[in-house]
Each structure stands twice: as C-alpha cells, then as structure tokens.
Amino acid sequence: MGRVLVTGGSGFLAGWCLAALDAAGWETVATVRAPDREAGLRERLAAAGVRDPAATGVRVADLTRDEGWAEAVAGCDFVLHVASPFGGSEPDSEAELIAAARDGTLRVLRAAAAGKVRRVVLTSSFAAVGYGHPEREAPFTEADWTRVDQPDVAPYIRSKAVAERAAWDFMAGAGGMELSVINPVGIFGPVLGQDFASSIDIIRRMLEGAMPAAPRTYFGLVDVRDVADLHLRAMVHPSAAGERFLAVAGEPLSMLEVAAILREGLGPAGARAPAAELPDAVVHDLARTSPEMARLAAQLGRRRRASAAKAREVLGWRSRPNAGIVLDTARSLFAHGGIAPGDGKAEAP
C-alpha cells in the first residue's frame, strides 16, 4: 500500500485517522510535540482498536520549529496534516495566533514537498468558510471563504482562514505535490481518553450539570470517525486533488436541541443536561465581564448551514446522523472521558 504520516498523532482526530489507516492496511507514522506524548498516543490507538499500537512509528516534531520535519516525512507517500500548533492553549496575541497557524502549516508543506510526498490532506475548518458573511438561508459550500476583514470574525476563526489560504498559495509553486483540504464543522464522537476536542466540552458540561440553561446558539456537528474516513478518501481519490471538502452531518443544532437528545437518549444519565434556554438578555449582561459569554453573545441566533454534497458526490462519503453523534459522544465520555454518570445518582447507559 504505502506509508502515511499523520501530524499531531496524540490528538483526538489524529488518533481516529491512524486507526482508520491501520484498518485499511497502511503503514503509519505519527508526529508528537514532545517525547513524553508517545505513551498517550499508543494508549489512544489501543482504545481506537488498532491491532498493534507499537507498529506506528513516532517522530518528534513541533509545528513551531523546523527540526524533525524532514525526518518525519522521509519515505512517506502521503501526509495527513491534522495537528494544531496551539496544543490546548492559544497564544495571547492575535498576531501570534495567526502566525502560528500559518507558519505551522507551511512548515509541514515545505517538508512534504522536499520529501517528494505525493499528496497532503490538510485539516482546515468550517471556520475558514462560513464567517464574516451576512445572514443567509443558503448553505455554505466549498466555494465560500470566511471574510477575515470583518470586525466580528474572532482571531481563532481568522487564523484558520489565513492558514488555509497560505496553504493554497504555497501549492502554486509546489511542483508535483498535490493538496486536498477537509473543512469540518464541530467534531464530536467517541473520545479515546480525557484529552479531546474542545467542541466536546459542550457535551461534558451538560452531562456534569455545569450548564443550568443553554444559550441560544447553533452549531454543526460531524463524527470524528467520519472525518477520519473523509481524510482517507481525499488522500487517494484522483478527483480530490486541488479540492476542498466540507464535512458536516446535517442541519445545525441549538444547544438546547443537543441537551434534549442527551436527556431523551440517556434517561437518568442525561438528566443534568439543561432543559431551558438562557435568555439573550442574560447572555449580553454576562458578556460585560466574561470573554466566553462575549463570544457567545456575538453568535446568538446565528444558524450557519453547510453542505456536504460535494464530499458525498465526488468521494462517496457518508456521515452518521446528528442524534447518534451526540449520544455516542456522551457514552464515550462516561466510558473513557472521566465523567461519572449522575455523580452516583444515575447509572451509565
């Protein structure tokens, strides 16, 4: 088959990408930021069902440094660039955040081009597609780009758009190497331990009773296993070269709709999910002193729809339904995410 490098191997999505590659018979190599992350990577591979976690090669390479990347890509036919340079904590300044996202992406692409990699699949985000636009009913597609010059576009969102633009600009002089880009909405699904995507923290907080009422915000969902599958399809499909693909399961859900799925689908174990919506006026009041609530206030009532028609039609991709994604996420948090169901007041489903 061939050899595939997955960057950020100890991460949530990267773990599922490595598991999917293993199941398909590919030889795999993964990068970690530091040697002490290797043990966690192998534990996550075992949790994901990888037959021999020790068979995955591990290379130390940090997105903020040049060292290690030439060795990481050596002998690889493909690269899935999944890693984020932030490692759970974003830089203090917007300029630093954007530079880290852009420069980390370019660092991997330069190493891949020098190493004669055939194709890189870059994990971007819906953040690079659907922000800075006026309200609209039509779903966003791969032809859309976030308008980074708009004042309501948050620094993190701006960084994702800038980094992806930089990747496409780089490819203009990359010789024979190809690029495909995956733009997922919020990634949910089974966790492989207590280090998981920030989007899943929404469900964790609901299950733990830390969200008494739900702000009137909406977001798209997609299962991590389906995003991994889309990466593999984009890696090998001839028609994926030079293309972007949105990854989304269905219509956006409100936080209250997610909570209702938990309450109805889990019974007593989901009883602490919020049953009421937080009034907009309260959110705006809290936004005066809370940066988190200020970010939420800017998104109240915004329902950004996205279309996965291109991934379905070109790559034959299919996704799990929203309700199943929410419930699978919750059940995995009880099993692997360190959450006690109902704090002893309810049994795990």
Give the span between the Cα atoms of 141 and 118, in whole angstroms: 26
Give the span between the Cα atoms of 41 and 16, in whole angstroms: 11
What are residue 301's phi and psi, to 5 degrees?
Answer: 75, -5
Give the span between the Cα atoms of 263 and 117, in whole angstroms: 47
Residue in 116, 160, 310, 345 annotated catalytic: 160
Picking from 137, 167, 131, the residue whose alpha carbon sits closest to that of residue 149 is: 131
Token code pair at residue 266: 């889990």
H helical segments located in the chain? 12-24, 38-47, 69-73, 94-114, 155-171, 201-207, 224-236, 255-266, 280-286, 291-297, 309-315, 322-336
Q: CB burial class (10 A; 0-12, 13-18, 19+) of residue 284? A: middle
CB 1 within 8 A of CB 27: yes
Residue 160 annotated as catalytic: yes
Q: Which residues pair with 253 in a beta bridge?
A: 219
Number of Cβ within 10 Å of residue 328's Cβ equals 18
Annotated catalytic sites, by residue? 160
